[in-house]
Structure 1
């Protein structure tokens, strides 16, 4: 996402964030008026792309209220620090709040400058994931127990109001940021069919997070799922997995098979043999010497490694790389695979994971490549299907733009009888936190490798990367990420040069 200071709404980046399940982040230290306007413009575009433009006025108010409250909370911190008062001491708190509003308003420039110097931010995050729109406002100070009690009291009282008029008849304490504004926020949510349970404030030792969660229109979700399945069912141009590869896979799965049987079957296909040897001799396997025969390759790489190679090799043969769009997608997939392999190699030390993350990286964007394969006659069939089922044209446009590409790729992978771990890597590569426990390492690694590629390309910022996978790999700040990326990028460049030579 463009930094807030640029004040230019980048529509293409917002679309990419939506289609890839990546959060949009806007950070400010002083929240001037022009930043508030920019946030509103980004929200408007974000909701429009999601087909939820009707929510704009209600959610604009909510975001603005939460952002202003976060700004006030930061101001309160520097005000108390300057006066030598302890926010967590009830007597100090009462004393500080006596003149807080008047004194900070009279000298707001001074206190905003202090906030900036101390790095106290207001961070607005827009994110759609698992068919839920999440709007968050974060500030990097811990909320006190007293403040949290006051906020929960306001929220509890807001339940009794059905209109703004009712709320205004009550005497509300306006010395705190969490006053009438929060009550109006809950009323706004009620107007769009949500209750106060969709709003929450989460406290940690370092951050306070105010979050609004909005389920996407259920009809639209169902339509996307129906369309995804329809495409998988009707893509007749995509055959079943090649017979020769299926036969080799059966041999690999047969406990009675020997290495020599597998190698002999592969060797019967000269093109496959040449391609597999090329892959086996790549940096992925880090072999000490060049391998010239498939029999030796099977011994060196192992059964699991060969099996995974066959999945990626067969997929690439079926989907092809005969257009510029597909070549760009495959190039991204190769880099993701290389980065995933190196993440696993440096941080996980699991040989089986090394094999799995490489092929998971190659295949993670299968859904996008499948859409690039769709012929005009199929597009017409799908459009007719939409008309027959009463599905809006905009839903199909969402799908063709990439929304649900992970689900389409996973459905095709299931059609080709891929193992569950690879199906999960494809389906969840934008949503690693919901991965089954047994596949979590694989999905997290493919996710982070994909994010490294996106970060390297300048299409996302560090703030847009999910913190849980980062923490899982011991990455706590942007400098660490950049150092790691520099190392991987140099390795990928050397590998490409070696392959071409």
Structure 2
């Protein structure tokens, strides 16, 4: 399109991170309708849901047209001196609404824009479901609410579009046949009757469609992810020295002096432990140079987390530019996670202790393709071909789609504790975490989102509102304040 460009990078980021993607318009010109359809098409293609495109584009057109019409009604009724919430005035106004507005549509659209009435599209993929919302900032009247829900209920009684056409319908507001057809179309892609909701909330009318992604495709992706982990025979275990110390840590009779002695035998591990102890995380008055003191300061759990971190980095690799960029992002998220845990969960030692390692390893699924040998990549490509999957499926997996599941499967293969595994699996879907890990998952999600926000890869509206509330963020200014403080502290630390 000439004036509105489609950002495929933003769509990919929204799909991979499970964050909402929003488009707002005040007059919904034809060019904007085409653009919205184009974005939805690209969004569904990114999810390999091409079979839904025709149906969902139709639904989008119906919902945006209805939202635009609702806004036009508000300015029309106001100009005519009619109360849209009064049933008698409503019937009176609707008698000439269609003809009056069609004859002078530009005038009424300009009134909408002047009044700040918008139509907003929100797309989101999360928890294996696709959500499409169309919002306009005007509450439904009682009459509108009743008519919409009557149409949805009626649609569920029809078995085909032809049957709906032949049925007698009320012609006062264009018969509402489009809404009935939309419900029937959703049924064709496996959506149930409760997949669509229309309601008012906080001064907005929200038309929401939630449909599951194609079950067969989901199962194929999960199968591929598991087979990918199985064929990565270059990652069978941790480095031998780290695995040995990790095993010793499970001995309840082991003394801290014994652990210190084992670590002292490994120069690189000793250096990493001292580096950690002397970081801002421990805020020591004087630098620690003794490995025995360092072990006492960090504790058994801290040593374990250090081993998980070092083992992952050494096994997955950090030699290429792409790998270094990924780990640099992970170090930032780890630092942010630790500082957020200290500020918001200071009294919960386990949360604070585990926050750094959970933040550091959250993206390890992305590193797999960068660390994999070319022969492994070729083997995985052939696996996709054998399963009759298009090359785009492989390309999207390689680009990071499903990296959360791939990373968590590797963590399970290495017998990582549940809190680390779930932080990896759910860092883009924090509300899916179990109760015993959700605090850490929420911390890692928030730290990761802040990092991407600082890179201008996401916007404020894309943060989960419930997570913002948990960290006492009510507006973007507060988010910017906490982001600036974390960024400044990280620069000082590095």
Superposition deviation, residue 35 in structure 1: 1.3
Deviations 1:53-83 (A, max 9, x none): 3432322121011112222333444555667
Residue equivalent to 2:412:
414
Deviations 1:152-180 (A, max 9, x none): 11011112334444333444345558822
The DSSP-based 3-state class of the residue aligned with 2:285 is coil
Pick aligned residue for 1:374 from 372, 375, 378: 372
| Distance of aligned partners of 1:77 and 1:471 in 2 relative to their CA distance in 1, 3 Å threshold | farther
Q: C-alpha distance in 2, partners of 1:470/1:459? A: 18
Superposition deviation, residue 250 in structure 1: 3.8
Superposition deviation, residue 460 in structure 1: 1.7
| Distance of aligned partners of 1:72 and 1:476 in 2 relative to their CA distance in 1, 3 Å threshold | farther
Stretch of structure 1 that moved more, 262-271 or 200-209: 200-209
Pick aligned residue for 2:273 from 262, 273, 276: 276
TM-score where L is the length of structure 1: 0.90
Q: C-alpha distance in 1, partners of 2:376/2:143? A: 61
What is the 5 A alignment of 1:49-60?
49-60=46-57
Superposition deviation, residue 443 in structure 1: 0.8
Pick aligned residue for 2:472 from 455, 471, 474: 474
Stretch of structure 1 that moved more, 83-92 or 382-391: 83-92
Pick aligned residue for 2:323 from 303, 323, 326: 326
Deviations 1:371-420 (A, max 9, x none): 21111111222233334444443332222121111111101111111100
Superposition deviation, residue 8 in structure 1: 0.4
Residue equivalent to 1:451:
449
Superposition deviation, residue 212 in structure 1: 2.0
Question: Contact between 2:369 and 2:377, CA under 8 Å: does it hold in 1?
Answer: no
What is the 5 A alignment of 1:9-24?
9-24=6-21
Residue equivalent to 2:401:
403
TM-score where L is the length of structure 2: 0.91
Pick aligned residue for 2:133 from 132, 136, 139: 136
Residue equivalent to 2:181:
184
1:344 correspondence with 2:338:
no
The DSSP-based 3-state class of the residue aligned with 1:133 is strand
Q: C-alpha distance in 2, partners of 1:283/1:174? A: 70
Pick aligned residue for 2:428 from 427, 430, 446: 430
The DSSP-based 3-state class of the residue aligned with 1:471 is helix
The DSSP-based 3-state class of the residue aligned with 2:456 is coil
Question: Contact between 2:384 and 2:391, CA under 8 Å: does it hold in 1?
Answer: yes
| Distance of aligned partners of 1:31 and 1:280 in 2 relative to their CA distance in 1, 3 Å threshold | farther
What is the 5 A alignment of 1:291-310?
291-310=288-307
| Distance of aligned partners of 1:118 and 1:357 in 2 relative to their CA distance in 1, 3 Å threshold | farther
Residue equivalent to 2:362:
364
Q: C-alpha distance in 2, partners of 1:123/1:494? A: 41
Question: Contact between 2:136 and 2:204, CA under 8 Å: does it hold in 1?
Answer: yes
What is the 5 A alignment of 1:194-233?
194-233=191-230
Q: C-alpha distance in 1, partners of 2:18/2:463? A: 10
Question: Contact between 1:143 and 1:203, CA under 8 Å: does it hold in 2?
Answer: yes
Q: Structure 2 unaligned runs (5+)?
A: none
Q: C-alpha distance in 1, partners of 2:103/2:216? A: 51
| Distance of aligned partners of 1:298 and 1:189 in 2 relative to their CA distance in 1, 3 Å threshold | same
The DSSP-based 3-state class of the residue aligned with 2:437 is helix
The DSSP-based 3-state class of the residue aligned with 1:438 is coil
Deviations 1:234-287 (A, max 9, x none): 111114023333343344444333332322222221210101211222223333
Stretch of structure 1 that moved more, 113-122 or 351-360: 113-122
> How large is the Cα RMSD of the aligned pairs?
2.7
Residue equivalent to 2:482:
484
Superposition deviation, residue 207 in structure 1: 3.4
Superposition deviation, residue 428 in structure 1: 0.7
Q: C-alpha distance in 2, partners of 1:388/1:163? A: 38
Q: Number of paired residues?
A: 493
Stretch of structure 1 that moved more, 365-374 or 74-83: 74-83
Stretch of structure 1 that moved more, 22-31 or 191-200: 191-200
| Distance of aligned partners of 1:288 and 1:175 in 2 relative to their CA distance in 1, 3 Å threshold | farther
| Distance of aligned partners of 1:191 and 1:293 in 2 relative to their CA distance in 1, 3 Å threshold | same
Q: C-alpha distance in 2, partners of 1:86/1:254? A: 77
| Distance of aligned partners of 1:389 and 1:37 in 2 relative to their CA distance in 1, 3 Å threshold | closer
Pick aligned residue for 2:41 from 22, 44, 48: 44
What is the 5 A alignment of 1:128-167?
128-167=125-164
Q: C-alpha distance in 2, partners of 1:153/1:444? A: 40
The DSSP-based 3-state class of the residue aligned with 2:301 is helix
1:34 correspondence with 2:52:
no
Pick aligned residue for 1:25 from 14, 22, 26: 22
The DSSP-based 3-state class of the residue aligned with 2:123 is strand
The DSSP-based 3-state class of the residue aligned with 1:302 is helix
Deviations 1:316-346 (A, max 9, x none): 1222211011011011111111222222233
1:261 correspondence with 2:258:
yes
